[in-house]
């Protein structure tokens, strides 16, 4: 037995410090008064506040540095990749959103960007043209960035875009209603932090880069947005305490993202993560969009490896059952390995994934028709070389409305 003594050992990993994540890789398109060190229209990457300060070192860009460092990196952990393309501050949001600019930032991230922000810092004395609730370039940017997002999703490198709600007039009634549209890859962020819509956009973008893809950016357990103490939140010219629930509901119903007071702690939280599309769309919220983008990446990487492989076939030329089951197992394992924490779990504790390789047409006619296949396909691999794989993943739910009934009684 050892001599009596006191042993003291230091612990690590106890502070809950969040590190950068691949799911937080972000592209940022912005305007500024003086070219950054890299030059206008040239993509560059920042991973820290120091990088941002160096990239926008001219004093004329002080507002850009302050906004990114205080609000984006106030939320996103340093180390988070921010791939930036800057244009002159006379550029409007719709021009900024053009594929020629977005592609530079997205290519800088090698297609790994999961998020994209659009924000302008106009010159002093700029006079906005406000219509339908915002500067006109806000709405004009929506279909443009949606088209870019469609292109990148088709390339299996999807992202979701957050657009600055520039020059918001605070009138939800006059704001364009997006509840009947299909801009499922875009959001408009409404409100001003210390009179700046730039600050608000960057704070929400930073929160999205910080949290896991399946999490609502407004999740109360994540806490209030990390903004400086005494930061004032307004919508239009009205402070948040004077904004009615009806106004916030109207913005929400028209598919805008606003901020609101945290009702159990100091500070502000995001109201919800709605996208600019129909509420019946499967991807009507940011979290569903982010996990499907990830699932597309995993599915492509998994099955690209199988392309042009030789497999056994049966007497009818159909892929052997063993080979079909191997394809099913491959994606189930890949999704579980890469995305288990992002999805609901099955009874065995793995990601809840459903895979069917060449399922019977008659028994699954609705599934085929939903995907543009209106006649029974041939599964004769010797004749067509084509395989049909249907993959479904079960997302996590989100507690959107909690009804609690409280009363007195004998127990």
| Helices and strands (H, E) in the chain, number of each type | 12, 17
Give the Å distances, CA to CA, from 332 to 326, 339, 392: 10, 10, 10
CB atoms within 10 A of CB 248: 20
Q: What global pTM score does this model have? A: 0.94
- How far, in Å, CA of 326 to CA of 170, rounded? 56
On whether the CB atoms of residues 317 and 323 are closer than 8 A, the answer is: no
Contacts of 328 (CB under 8 A, 6+ apart): 355, 356, 357
Contacts of 304 (CB under 8 A, 6+ apart): none
- How far, in Å, CA of 188 to CA of 147, rounded? 16
Q: Mark the ranges of the chain whose per-residue pLDDT is less than 70.
A: 1, 13-18
Nearest by Cα to 157 from 112, 193, 201: 112
* Strand ranges inside 77-122, DSSP E: 82-88, 115-119
Nearest by Cα to 285 from 154, 391, 186, 152: 186
* Strand ranges inside 223-341, DSSP E: 233-235, 238-239, 259-261, 268-270, 276-277
Residues in the chain, total = 411
For residue 120, the Cα-to-chain-centroid distance in whole angstroms is 20
Structure confidence at residue 7 (pLDDT): 78
Structure confidence at residue 10 (pLDDT): 76
Kindly list the structural domains of the chain, giving each domain's residue range(s) and its CATH number in brackets, ordered by start.
22-291 (3.40.50), 308-393 (no CATH)
Sole residue written with tokens 């939320």? 75
Structure tokens at 266: 């100091």
Question: What are the residues facing 46 on neighbouring strands?
Answer: 82
The values of phi and psi at residue 270, to 5°, are -80, 135
């Amino acid at each position: 037995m050892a001599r009596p003594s006191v042993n003291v050992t230091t612990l690590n990993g106890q502070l809950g410090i969040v590190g950068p994540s691949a799911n937080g890789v972000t592209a940022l398109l912005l305007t500024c008064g003086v070219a950054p060190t890299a030059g206008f229209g040239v993509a560059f990457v920042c991973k820290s506040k120091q990088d941002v300060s160096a990239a926008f070192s001219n004093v004329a860009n002080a507002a850009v540095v302050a906004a990114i460092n205080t609000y984006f990196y106030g939320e996103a952990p340093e180390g988070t990749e921010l791939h930036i393309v800057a244009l002159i501050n006379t550029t409007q949001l719709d021009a900024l959103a053009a594929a020629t600019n977005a592609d530079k930032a997205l290519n800088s991230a090698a297609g790994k960007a999961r998020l994209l922000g659009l924000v302008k810092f106009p010159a002093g004395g700029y006079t906005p043209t406000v219509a339908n609730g915002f500067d006109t370039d806000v709405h004009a940017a929506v279909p443009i960035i949606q088209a870019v997002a469609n292109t990148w999703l088709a390339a299996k490198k999807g992202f979701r875009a957050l657009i600055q709600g520039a020059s918001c007039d605070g009138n939800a009634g006059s704001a364009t209603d997006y509840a009947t549209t299909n801009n499922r890859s875009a959001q408009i962020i409404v409100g001003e932090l210390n009179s700046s819509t730039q600050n608000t956009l960057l704070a929400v973008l930073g929160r999205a880069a910080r949290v896991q893809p399946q999490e609502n950016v407004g999740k109360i357990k994540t806490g209030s947005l990390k903004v400086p103490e005494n930061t004032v939140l307004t919508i239009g010219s009205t402070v948040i305490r004077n904004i009615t629930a009806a106004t916030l509901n109207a913005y929400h119903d028209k598919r805008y993202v606003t901020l609101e007071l945290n009702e159990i702690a100091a500070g502000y939280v995001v109201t919800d993560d709605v996208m600019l599309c129909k509420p019946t769309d499967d991807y009507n919220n940011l979290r569903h969009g982010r996990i499907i983008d990830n699932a597309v990446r995993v599915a492509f990487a998994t099955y690209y490896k199988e392309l042009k492989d030789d497999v056994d076939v049966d007497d009818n030329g159909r892929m052997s059952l063993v080979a079909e089951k191997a394809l099913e197992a491959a994606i189930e394992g890949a999704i579980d390995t890469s995305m288990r924490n992002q999805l609901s779990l099955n009874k065995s504790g793995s990601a809840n994934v459903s895979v069917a390789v060449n399922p019977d047409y008659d028994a699954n006619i609705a599934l085929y028709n939903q995907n543009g296949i209106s006649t029974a396909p041939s599964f004769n691999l010797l004749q067509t070389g084509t395989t049909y794989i249907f993959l479904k993943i079960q997302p996590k739910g989100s507690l959107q409305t909690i009804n609690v009934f409280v009363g007195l009684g004998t127990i």
